[in-house]
């Protein structure tokens, strides 16, 4: 993610603060080995098992895992008539994935005769993430997508003075936030739960998942007769990169006035 978004070297808005020139097309491809074993399962049957996978970084796109085609369960693959054309990689052919009487159409694709500039894709195949019921990085189940080795999350304590308000109502105020920095994204301020007006917040039905931090639970703000959904989120059971902000509140909504001052 950090290579293709947020001003990374393969992003459309690539940085100009460099002392080199990349002889690169506007749409760049970069394939590099993924260092661990990856498995994917459908209905309890392993359909992909590879310690020879590679991540393809592609401008504007999330990294995609490609593995040698023989690392997919051959008996589960059925040819499809579906094809697509990529001007950067070539013509893709597809296979259905059939396991235990269940068929996922066009779940796997490959480039049998890739463009010369992407010739290293020959012999590799990719599986849509959502086509599998579960994915494992070594023995850890992962959600959303594989963690990109070029993407990181850092959390640091801060003495910033943060005030969150809706009109005249102060929703939260602290001088001890946690600053979470994530590659390619703006810094986020996570506020301790003791510095938040919990009586104004009720759980929302909205959730989201980050492969680096874990599942986020959202909160609705109620002030008088006014109700604003999803003004903040928390990480009740974070992955290791988010442990330092467990149960802290991160506010982000256009209707809120958020002021930040140095302590």
Residue 3's pLDDT is what? Answer: 80
Residue 24's pLDDT is what? Answer: 62
Q: What is the dotted CATH code of the domain comprising 153-261?
A: 2.170.150.40
The listed CATH number (3.30.420.270, 3.30.70.870, 3.40.50.300, 2.170.150.40) that belongs to domain 29-142: 2.170.150.40
Residue 137's pLDDT is what? Answer: 96
Residue 25's pLDDT is what? Answer: 64
Residue 7's pLDDT is what? Answer: 73
- As a whole number of angstroms, the distance between CA 210 and CA 237 comes to 12
Task: Please give the C-alpha separations between residue 232 and each of 31, 78, 126, 139, 169, in angstroms, as whole numbers.
Answer: 37, 45, 36, 32, 16
- 214 Cβ contact partners less than 8 Å away, ≥ 6 residues apart: 235, 237, 238, 239, 242
| Torsion angle in degrees (nearest 10) through CA of 42, 43, 44, 45 | -50
Residue 155's pLDDT is what? Answer: 97
Q: Where in the chain is the domain with CATH 2.170.150.40?
A: 29-142, 153-261
pTM summary value: 0.84
- As a whole number of angstroms, the distance between CA 144 and CA 89 comes to 24
| 170 close to 163: Cβ distance less than 8 angstroms | yes
- pLDDT averaged over 10-residue windows placed end to end, the chain, 263 residues: 73 77 75 96 96 93 95 97 96 97 96 96 98 96 91 96 97 98 94 98 96 96 96 97 97 97 88
Residue 23's pLDDT is what? Answer: 66
Task: Please give the C-alpha separations between residue 153 and each of 35, 162, 179, 249, in angstroms, as whole numbers.
Answer: 19, 21, 10, 17
Residue 249's pLDDT is what? Answer: 98
Query: What residues are paired with 26 via a beta bridge?
Result: none
């Amino acid at each position: 993610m950090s290579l293709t978004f947020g001003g990374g070297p393969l992003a459309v808005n690539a940085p100009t603060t460099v002392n080199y020139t990349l002889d690169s097309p506007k749409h760049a491809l970069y394939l590099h080995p993924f260092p661990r074993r990856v498995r994917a399962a459908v209905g309890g049957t392993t359909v992909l098992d590879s310690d020879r996978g590679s991540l393809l970084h592609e401008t504007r796109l999330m990294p995609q895992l490609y593995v040698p085609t023989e690392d997919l369960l051959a008996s589960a693959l059925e040819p499809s008539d579906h094809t697509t054309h990529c001007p950067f990689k070539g013509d893709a052919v597809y296979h259905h994935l059939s396991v235990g009487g269940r068929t996922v159409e066009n779940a796997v694709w490959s480039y049998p005769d890739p463009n010369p500039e992407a010739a290293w894709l020959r012999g590799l195949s990719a599986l849509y993430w959502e086509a599998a019921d579960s994915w494992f990085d070594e023995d850890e189940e992962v959600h959303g997508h594989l963690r990109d080795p070029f993407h990181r999350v850092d959390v640091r304590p801060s003495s910033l003075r943060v005030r969150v308000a809706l009109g005249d109502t102060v929703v939260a105020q602290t001088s001890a936030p946690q600053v979470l920095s994530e590659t390619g994204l703006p810094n986020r301020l996570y506020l301790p739960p003791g510095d938040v007006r919990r009586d104004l917040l009720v759980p929302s039905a909205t959730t989201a998942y980050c492969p680096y931090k874990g599942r986020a639970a959202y909160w609705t703000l109620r002030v008088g007769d006014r109700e604003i959904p999803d003004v903040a989120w928390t990480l009740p059971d974070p992955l290791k990169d988010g442990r330092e902000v467990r149960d802290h509140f991160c506010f982000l909504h256009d209707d809120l006035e958020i002021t930040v001052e140095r302590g």
